[in-house]
Amino acid sequence: MGLTRRHFMTILGAMGLSSCAGRTVTRLTPHIPFVGDGPISFAAINDTHVLDAKSVGIVNRAVASINADQDIRFTVVLGDVATGGRWPELKLARDSFDRLDNPCFVIPGNHDVAPSSPDIYANYARAFGDPNWREDRESWVFIGLDTCNGTASDVTVPPERMDWLRKQLRHIGEKRPIALFTHHPFNPNTKAYRVANADDVVGLFSEYNLRLVASGHYHGNQVEERDGITYVTTACCSTTRDNFDGTPEKGYRVFRLEDDAVAHEFIPLET
């Protein structure tokens, strides 16, 4: 009997293996028993930094690769879609994401706002809509949180977005698994750019089952676990920017959720 990719991932995870042909594979044991409706797979792309038509090439390759994976139900884009928050950049990126077969949800990065515009989010909103969003998909809740403070690299989530988060959590059952998506990193030991009040934001989830915080901005693969929460940053999916940690790999990440366990795999792309 042949193995599907999902079976392969699950077996790897069960064996505790951590790498395969240059790809990083991690599976963590859930700390709270939870039985969901079945596995959910999704892709996460960050830091495409689209500048011109040429720079969309790697984004199109990511889109084709995601479409070729029949398990993937949706894609999240973790900010820095563009370079200077200009409409032509955002439009080029959106046209590429529009080729995805399944839904795509985007949060802004510090390169997606236009600092000289009266409304710095105007171009972003025209391309991708609300910068904060929540999607309930089967047993999981997925929350996109805008962490931008204008174009700053080091940020604090402002009070009004903390209030928005509190409002989202009000009607979520305490065992229902939650994934949080942010542009700026929450990893407790990220080498740079940790959100200044990351602990306060995570504290809002203390009575809930937050299982994953996936972020961009750092341009490098970093994975760690604290208190049952998986924190991830991923290499950029860009040919106009390098990774901040000096690693050459560019690509995106595929997450596979089963009950409230989080498995994930970095998918490298040709540059």
| Interacting residues toward Fe ion by CB under 5 A | 47, 80, 109-110, 217
Residue 204, Ramachandran bin (φ over 0: left; ψ between -120 and 50: alpha; else beta): alpha
| Shorter beta-carbon distance to Fe ion: residue 80 or 258 | 80
Q: Is 174 exposed, middle or buried (0-12, 13-18, 19+ CB in 10 A)?
A: exposed
Output the CA–CA distances (angstroms, integers) from residue 165 to 46, 158, 192, in the order listed: 22, 11, 24
Q: Which helix (H) or strand (E) holds 6?
A: helix 5-15
Least distance CB 224 / Fe ion (angstroms): 20
Measured from the CB atom, is 105 or 205 closer to Fe ion?
A: 105
Measured from the CB of residue 132, what is the shortest distance to Fe ion in angstroms? 17
Question: Of all residues in this chain, which one has the CB nearest to Fe ion in the complex?
Answer: 80
Q: Tell me the CB-side half-sphere exposure of residue 249, using CA atoms within 13 A.
A: 15
Smallest distance from Fe ion to CB 25, Å: 24
By DSSP bridging, strand 23-27 and strand 19-20 are: antiparallel
Which residue, 41 or 238, is less far from Fe ion as judged by CB? 238
Residue pair 88/266 in contact (Cβ under 8 Å)? The answer is no
Q: Name the minimum Å distance from CB 172 to Fe ion.
A: 28
Closer to Fe ion by CB, 145 or 257: give it. 145
CA-based angle 213:219:220, to the nearest 5?
75
Least distance between Fe ion and beta carbon 63 (Å): 19
Tokens of 160: 């009004």
The residue (of 182 and 230) whose beta carbon lies closer to Fe ion is 182
> What is the nearest approach in angstroms of Fe ion to the Cβ of residue 125?
18
- Residue 217 or residue 250: which is nearer to Fe ion going by CB? 217
Q: What is the closest distance, in whole angstroms, from the C-beta atom of residue 142 to Fe ion in the complex?
A: 21
Q: Which is nearer to Fe ion, 139 or 234 (CB)?
A: 234
Planar angle of CA 164, 195, 269, nearest 5 degrees: 100
Residue with tokens 């998506």: 181
Which among 170, 171, 138 is positioned nearest to 36, based on CA atoms? 138
109 phi and psi, to 5 degrees? -115, 175
